[in-house]
A and B are shown apart, each in its own frame.
Chain A
């Protein structure tokens, strides 16, 4: 019996139905079957007249369009020698403060701009502008993540040839943004000590996708009774490939190492350009 439709034909005939590549193979035009109805006669068709069931092989990414636009962004960023970060975390883990302090600490070392996504308000954009960097706000409305075309449109408002570093602050969300490539060089995922040590185990897709994990708000480590060793072990299970930085945007701890890392990464991008 045919595994696809249960029509009872045996193997042997050539495949004509698109994508019907599994054994056993046979012709699939149902109304062309010859079958035995015993000693009685009747006429029927298995399907409405003129219709034929077909299987279409698709085998393509659902996010093909976003992936294509992300690659175009990547090429554009690379041609300008701009290092691009996609910064992800749950709401309230300190992305904006971390970015503001990163820009302040980098000073003249890297000319930086920010694209920030939020469902509503430009509060983050106003806070980010205090760093002196140009900022473009994207309001996504009801969309819970940034997509490559939103970034492509926002970039048009920036003077790319003058930039070294573009930081994209994604919508605060530990689930949805993981699926969308924006064309970034590095994916930065924040885990604040206030969120608990098991966040990487609860949200593996986003932590697995990280190139860098920033453990933020380290100044609150003691107050939150943050179990550092346990958090590090959890990060190793899910994201051991990621570069790890422990920072406090408030006290500045760990920010120098982080900024040195960014300068090195920018040099690598510049060399390729």
Chain B
């Protein structure tokens, strides 16, 4: 549900950047979305298509990189990716207190046409 307002916020920032760069058109917008961010990429895609018509990003491509949950194991001194989002280290079984990646809601880059 909140993907619309998140996409609106991302788009506003991107369009402002495009104006600053004197870009006529946005070709592609790239986001990084963590699996623990609480945001669904498909819903962002839908919101993007609904929000871009009439803007310089109309018809642009939205590319979403999903960032997996990565924890730090203090026992084995290693990072591990958790596919099921459990915080236990697969090697030692101890739960991790440190999430190192997976909560990103990030505007990473965009491609534009400049005049």
Contact = CB atoms under 8 A, between A and B. Distances in A.
B67 interface: no
A173 B111 CA distance: 35
B59 interface: no
B50 interface: no
Interface residues of B, number: 39
A56 B36 CA distance: 26
Contacts of B86: 237-238
Interface in A142-177: 143-145, 173, 175-176
12 contacts: A53-B114, A54-B23, A56-B109, A58-B107, A62-B31, A143-B5, A144-B2, A175-B2, A175-B38, A237-B86, A238-B85, A238-B87
A236 interface: yes
A60 B109 contact: no
B87 A51 contact: no
B80 to A, nearest CB: 14
Interface of A: 18-19, 47, 50-65, 143-145, 173, 175-176, 178-179, 204-206, 208-209, 236-238, 240-241
Interface string B81-94: 00011111000000
Given A175-B38, A179-B2, A241-B97, A63 B105 contact: yes
A62 B13 contact: yes
Interface in B71-115: 84-88, 95, 97, 99, 103, 105-115
Nearest to B95: A240
A55 B26 CA distance: 10
A144 B112 CA distance: 33
A68 B109 CA distance: 21
Given A19-B109, A52-B113, A54-B112, A237 B9 contact: no
Given A205-B38, A240-B87, 7 more contacts: A53-B27, A53-B111, A54-B111, A56-B112, A58-B13, A60-B13, A237-B95
Contacts of A18: 21
B112 A53 contact: yes
Of B5, B27, B107, most A-chain CB atoms within 10 Å: B5
A59 B107 contact: yes
A176 B36 contact: no
B113 A53 contact: yes
Interface in B1-19: 1-2, 5-6, 9-10, 13-14, 17-18
B38 A176 contact: yes
A51 B38 contact: no
Contact of B95 (A58, A62, A205, A236): A236
A243 to B, nearest CB: 13
B55 interface: no
A52 B21 CA distance: 11
Contacts of B105: 61-63, 179
Contacts of A64: 13
Interface string B46-84: 000000000000000000000000000000000000001
